[in-house]
Amino acid sequence: MVSQSDVSIEANSKPPEWTDEEYKRICQQVNHFQRAKRKRKKVKPVLKPRGKVTEKQITISIEDSACDWDDIKDEPFSLDTNATRIYVKIGKERAKCVNTGKSIPVGGAAVYRVFF
């Protein structure tokens, strides 16, 4: 095994004292290490109810005038006055849909505040 202090390696060049077999073996080890680091974690399963589910009707209020995306904090909002989908701002450029649980990128929008 060759230590770093013994050899100075330039990018994409084989050290002169390494044999072709040693160089190939080291490259394979580096590639294997990089592939192992890139593996994605398993996605957690979607939560499902364990027992009986009951539906509840709720009453919400929707602001009549639209406001700017930057003006809202972490309060619920909708993209239309019918509130078919309700979102919550979770970051400077991200919102999470309450209906589906998915997050979406947002660059800017005119939104309607929703009050429960």
Render pLDDT for 66-110 as a digit per residue (tens, 0 to 9): 999 999 988 899 999 888 899 999 988 899 999 888 999 998 889
Of 29, 26, 31, 3, residue with least CA distance to 13? 26
pLDDT band, very low/low/confident/very high, at 13 (cuts 50, 70, 90): low
Average pLDDT value for residue range 13-35? 84
Distance CA 60, CA 89 (A): 18
Cβ neighbours of 94 (radius 10 Å): 13
27-43 pLDDT, tens digit each:
999 988 888 877 777 77
Verdict on whether the full-model pTM lies above 0.85:
no
Distance CA 110, CA 94 (A): 14
